[in-house]
Amino acid sequence: MLRNDVRQVDAILLTHEHNDHVIGLDDVRPFNFQSQRDMPIYATARVAAEVEQRFAYAFSEIRYPGAPALRFFPIDKDHPFRIADVRIRPIEVMHGNLPVLGFRIGDFTYLTDIKTISDEELEKVRGTKVLALGVLHHTPHYSHLSVEEALRLIQRIKPEQTWFIHISHHMGLYDEVAAQLPEGVGLAYDGLKVSVLTG
């Protein structure tokens, strides 16, 4: 956030409750100060309950001084919602046995920590031009896509461009791996910018 000079955050979408996806919530405090309001957090009821327990000091009746100011808004996977004028469509995928959410915003879809997706949820992804897809590494994993599994899924979705995200250090060196990927598939990197038509 510092390196990319991010000065404004309007809302946060949570995919699921695993620590590597929520533990940075304490760092929204500067954005609270900048906006002078609670940070809107969008999540399912299950995820919100878990986060409220983990960050109890931020949700107590008497808030700990300096704690982040967070306010939850519920997500139902079957109902799109709006943040300002941006329409967001939740997409449920399976992270092993755990349901997690991805999100579609216009012609962009974000799916992290995915192992499988139902045909019904896949229909929500069709027509996506840019796909951010969680791909751990080359070896099969019980709760994440491997490169081979991801490429098969990409063939079903047929986006114009896919960026692999949530990559393990076991994936290999960037230049070597990138050279092996088909056209329209790349490894995401810090500072990558993607233009999104919100529709």
What tens digit of pLDDT does each residue of 52-99 get? 999 999 998 888 888 999 999 999 999 999 999 999 999 999 999 999
Question: In terms of Cα–Cα distance, which of 33, 31, 107 is closest to 41?
Answer: 31
> Which residue, among 56, 58, 11, 13, has the nearest Cα to 35 in the 3D structure?
11
H/E stretch holding 179 reads helix 174-180
Place of tokens 């216009």: 106
Q: 3-class DSSP state for residue 167?
A: coil
pLDDT tens digit string along 146-189? Answer: 999 999 999 999 999 999 999 999 999 999 999 999 999 999 99
Structural tokens at position 28: 């929204």
Instruction: Give the Cα separation of 100 and 121 in Å (integer).
Output: 12
Q: What is the largest CA-CA distance in the chain?
A: 54
